[in-house]
Amino acid sequence: MSDLRDLYQEVILDHNRSPRNFGRLEDADLHADGHNPLCGDKLSITLKLAGDRVADLRFEGSGCAISKASASLMTEGVKGRTLDELRGLFDRFHRLVTDQGAAADEAELGKLAVFAGVRDYPARVKCAILAWHTLRAAVDDRHEVVSTE
């Protein structure tokens, strides 16, 4: 188990160091901003649709390693997915980081399962989930700033 934890740590550090899909899409169809006041994490998501699929998305902002790595891994995980699949992933991810009994979801989540460890750190759950709440707001076309509080 500690090897797995080390691997998880490594993936998070890597995505924090070199975040994927970082930036802003100028011709985005949807966008949203999110804020986690508890930690000071802030991010913006821009997204382009092709039909009901996520054709492309970017995130930008500043925050702790967990919030940035989570946003980076999320963008990789949802690109090319339908909006329905994306809502399903949101629910699974939410269970993964909040519910001890969610081990069954880890296989479905692939790399996103690296955040299973934040369950043990309630303050970090908000860092990990911020990108997802912000993405949900974007696809639901809500424009108020999302807050984890």
Site for Zn ion in 122-141 (CB under 5 A): 127
| Per-residue interface string for the shown chain with Zn ion, residues 65-94, x marking contact by CB under 5 A | --x---------------------------
Residue with tokens 């339908």: 82
CA distance 30 to 135: 9
> How does strand 146-147 pair with strand 53-62?
unpaired
Alpha-carbon distance values, 73 to 27, 46, 142 (Å): 22, 15, 23
Least distance in angstroms from the C-beta of 126 to Zn ion: 7
**CB of residue 55 vs Zn ion: minimum separation in angstroms?**
29
DSSP 46-76: EEEEETTEEEEEEEEEE--HHHHHHHHHHHH
Please report how close the Cβ of residue 9 comes to Zn ion at its closest, in angstroms: 16
Identify the residue whose tokens are 């946003």: 71
Q: Based on the shown chain and the rule CB under 5 A, indicate whether residue 105 belongs to the binding site for Zn ion.
A: no
What residues between 10 and 69 interact with Zn ion by CB under 5 A? 39, 41, 64, 67
> Closest CB to Zn ion among 110 and 121?
121
Residue 123 beta carbon to Zn ion: minimum distance, rounded to whole angstroms: 8
Q: Which residues bind to Zn ion, rule: CB under 5 A?
A: 39, 41, 64, 67, 127
